[in-house]
A and B are shown apart, each in its own frame.
Chain A
Amino acid sequence: MKEFVALPSRTRTLMAELRSRLGDEGPLPPAPPIPVIAPPPVRVFPSPRSRSRFAEQAAAHTTAMIGIGHVGTRYATDVVLQFQAELAVAHEAVHTVLPEDWAASKGLLSLKSRVADHHQFLLRPDLGRRLDEASLGKLRSSAKRGVDVQPILADGLSAVATMGSGMTLLEAFSAECSKRGWSVGTPMCARFARVWLEDEIGQEVGAKVAVILLGERPGLGTGDGLSAYLVYDPRIGKTDGDRNMMSNIHLRGTPPVEAASRLAVLTGAMLEQRTSGVPLDLSPLVAQLGDAGGTGYRAPQKRVRLVETS
């Protein structure tokens, strides 16, 4: 960045001119050199001054903004820019609406919650948890009933994620279930859907396990993450304590194909133990569940730089 040179004093220049106009030409004492103003600090994180080995090692294992140093009491310029860029990615994802004909174009049964528009969807989670009348009729008339597993693709809080890797995950998960010999429900996609919508859908089709795959609440820089929520014996009135979930299904987290097999393992455990959520015992399955087991080593992560500062 460029250095700034302070301007010479205007008042002193004026007085020097007036002085010679008034006839005093004697030499003035030399003026002090004009100072150079140091450029404002642009630091790259982690800033060299605040570098600590612990922070560096910890930061290598997460894309969370830790170990980013500081300039005075503030963040460094590039940290602020990166933060704003990542926040923009998240905003973008939240405000993207799943097109009405997207499900049909992918050959999925198209459903919709009781929400009227995207704005209402963000403000009224309760409406997003129930199907509207038309969808309910469609579900009753054309969905396969009495299945072992009912996978549901949905937009959730990130239609970007659903349109990105939603189909890959849905197809991979359905294939894993079929491979294990379970009957899989009609592939369907719900718009303006919240997690609990799986209760009503699962109840209507009489599924043993309902699995909703939906775009998760975007975080900094991740607008493309999917989450999966599984519930055994879906019925309206089930709580989050009855659910198991897997988050961060995206390329920098758990890739969709790998997630599909882990979800199948979870589903298998539910079918076997006939329960889900808190009562489900996952201790024998830790090795197969990977991160979902909760104790795994987390490989170093690389932050995607959205902004470059020179």
Chain B
Amino acid sequence: MILEPLPPKVLSVRRIPNADPAVLLAYGADPARHRSLGLVTCDQDDPTYVALDEATKHARVDVVFAKSFWAGSKHASGKLSGEILGVLAGSDPDEVDEGLAAFLRCIEHDACFFAANDDASIAVFPHVISSLGRYLSAEAGLEPGQSMAYLVAPPIEGTVALDAALKGADVRAVKIFPPPSPTNFAAAWLTGSLDACEAAAVAYAEAVVAVARGPIERLPGRR
């Protein structure tokens, strides 16, 4: 079944209420402002980035660390590793709790990969962020509150689909991540009005499905 949601699996959620300053510094937090950490691992990295950004909209937390692991969750270092470690930092445990609750809400109900073919061996992430939080807006160089299409697919699908998305809607590319990403995907961030971002995401997903259905194009003059 195509375009069926592939729900991300949260593999671990842990809190460090009063983190050691050395740990705070090593993971990019500022001991002057941050004291508590919330750590999550998940088997899908891009929904996690989106959900971490969502957390910054609901609590005074900063995403101090978020990195994907090489080659993705199928090659994880352990069963709790997944393909990403995300770290929220806040001034106190209550803030971190609130941030984690928003994170889990988003990852359970919103951000997810979709199957691009029937056996889900190709996945696409055509996500629309209607209003950016403080984390992704800073990463993208946009303002918090702007809309962004967060598009991810495997290398060939992602490349063809990115072109389709840019042509199919009134959006501009903010950042393009050609393959291979740490998890061997291709990604792009596009911005425009919310409608335009939605149209871009739909065009992107449609193109990924099209490539998945016909990966080898017949060339002119060959039979």
**Which A residues form the contact surface with B (CB < 8 A)?**
6, 8-12, 14-19, 22, 24, 26, 28-29, 31-32, 34-35, 37, 72-73
| Closest A residue, CB atoms, query B129 | A11
Q: Which of B2, B3, B95, B108 contacts A32 (CB 8 A)?
A: B108
Q: Are A35 and B105 in contact (CB under 8 A)?
A: yes
A15 in contact with B91 given A9-B110, A10-B198 (CB within 8 Å): no
Tell me whether chain A's interface is mostly helix, strand or loop, or mixed.
loop
Question: Is B123 interfacial (CB 8 A cutoff)?
Answer: no
B127 an interface residue at 8 Å Cβ cutoff? Answer: yes
* Chain B residues within 8 Å of A, Cβ to Cβ: 1-5, 91-92, 94-95, 105, 108-112, 114, 126-128, 130, 198, 201-202, 205-206, 209
Top 6 A-B pairs ranked by shortest CB distance?
Answer: A72-B94, A19-B3, A9-B110, A15-B3, A26-B1, A24-B2
Minimum CB–CB distance for B107 against chain A, Å: 11
Q: Can you identify 20 A-B contacts, CB atoms within 8 angstroms?
A: A6-B109, A10-B128, A10-B130, A11-B111, A11-B126, A11-B127, A12-B5, A14-B202, A16-B3, A18-B3, A18-B202, A19-B2, A19-B3, A22-B2, A26-B1, A28-B1, A28-B4, A31-B109, A72-B94, A73-B92
Chain B residues with CB below 8 A from A11, complex form: 110-111, 126-128, 201
Nearest B residue (CB) for A28: B4
User: Among the listed A15, A32, A37, which residue makes an inter-chain contact with B114, where contact means beta carbons less than 8 Å apart?
Assistant: A15
Complex: chain A residue closest to B210, CB-CB: A22
In the assembled complex, the CB of B2 is this many whole angstroms from the nearest CB of chain A, namely: 5
**CB pair A29 B4 closer than 8 Å:** yes
Chain B residues in 8 Å Cβ range of A14 = 126, 128, 198, 201-202, 205
By a CB distance below 8 angstroms, the chain B residues around A32 are: 108-109
CA distance A6 to B58 in the complex (A): 12
A22 to B4 CA separation, bound complex (whole angstroms): 13
A211 → B minimal CB distance (Å): 51
Residue in chain A with minimal CB distance to B124: A15
- A185 CB to closest chain B CB (Å) equals 60
